[in-house]
Amino acid sequence: MLITTPNLTKPDETYAALIATHEGLSEAESHALNTRLILILMNHIGNDVVLAEALRWARNPEAE
């Protein structure tokens, strides 16, 4: 089951770290970083059902 409620222990710090990771990158490099990060996290999740739900939710969050 996909967790869609807030679940980060330090959301502000996590967001700041994400933004800092992109510092100094070109737009293409930033897109490549995002792609790698998504694939790394998808591999970590590893559950096809959860991933399919996440993809649907990301595409249309109002359709929960």
- Dump pLDDT digits (tens) for 12-36: 999 999 999 999 999 999 999 999 9
Global confidence as pTM = 0.85
State the residue range of the domain holding 49: 26-63
Q: Is residue 10, in this structure, part of any structural domain at all?
A: no
Q: How far is CA 50 from CA 5, 10, 31, 42, 47, in A?
A: 15, 23, 23, 9, 5
Statement: residue 3 has pLDDT above 70: yes
Predicted local confidence at residue 63, as pLDDT: 73
CA distance 21 to 33: 9
Q: Is residue 48, in this structure, part of any structural domain at all?
A: yes
Q: Is residue 15, in this structure, part of any structural domain at all?
A: no
Q: Is residue 18, in this structure, part of any structural domain at all?
A: no
Q: Is residue 4, in this structure, part of any structural domain at all?
A: no
Q: Is residue 44, in this structure, part of any structural domain at all?
A: yes
Amino acid at 9: T
Statement: residue 64 has pLDDT above 90: no
Number of domains composing the chain: 1
Statement: residue 53 has pLDDT above 70: yes
